[in-house]
Amino acid sequence: MLISSAYAQAAPAATGGADSSLLSLLPLVLMFVVLYFVMIRPQMKRQKEHKAMIEALAKGDEVVTSGGLLGKVSKLGETYLHVEVANGVELQVQRTAVVQVLPKGTFK
């Protein structure tokens, strides 16, 4: 015949018990630790800094919004603030839309 017979092989003997299972989990644990220090921890730090910046906003601060608008804070509210982008032109934006606070005198 053209097809040869296939026979099952005997199962290999079990070696090591708990040691081999812990060793097999080690790469997964190491990957999680690296992920934490490379991605999660820096993101949490940026969020904390952004929250502190938002809470420290004051009237007269010059800011950049997430849409790229430059302006001076004219009114502050609980969740919204008014940004003056030109003489007599005010926009109402959410506090969280502020991305950066510029040094005084940057925006004219």
CATH of residue 68's domain is 2.30.30
Q: Is residue 63 part of a domain?
A: yes
For residues 3 and 66, the model is more confident at 66
Confidence of residue 13 (pLDDT cuts 50, 70, 90): low
CA 104 to chain centre: 28
User: How buried is 101 (Cβ within 10 angstroms: 0-12 exposed, 13-18 middle, 19+ buried)?
Assistant: middle
pLDDT at 16 over 60: no
Q: Report the chain's mean pLDDT, rounded to a whole number.
A: 88
Whole-number Å distance between alpha carbons of 77 and 65: 16
pLDDT digits (tens, 9 = 90+) for 39-55: 999 999 999 999 999 99
Q: Is residue 6 part of a domain?
A: no
Give the per-residue pLDDT at 68: 93
pLDDT digits (tens, 9 = 90+) for 65-86: 999 999 999 999 999 999 999 9
- Residue 64 shares a structural domain with residue 103: yes
Give the per-residue pLDDT at 18: 65
Into how many domains does the chain fold? 2
Q: Is residue 13 part of a domain?
A: no
Q: Is residue 65 part of a domain?
A: yes
- Residue 37 shares a structural domain with residue 72: no
Q: Supply the range of the domain harboring residue 32.
A: 19-56
Give the per-residue pLDDT at 56: 94
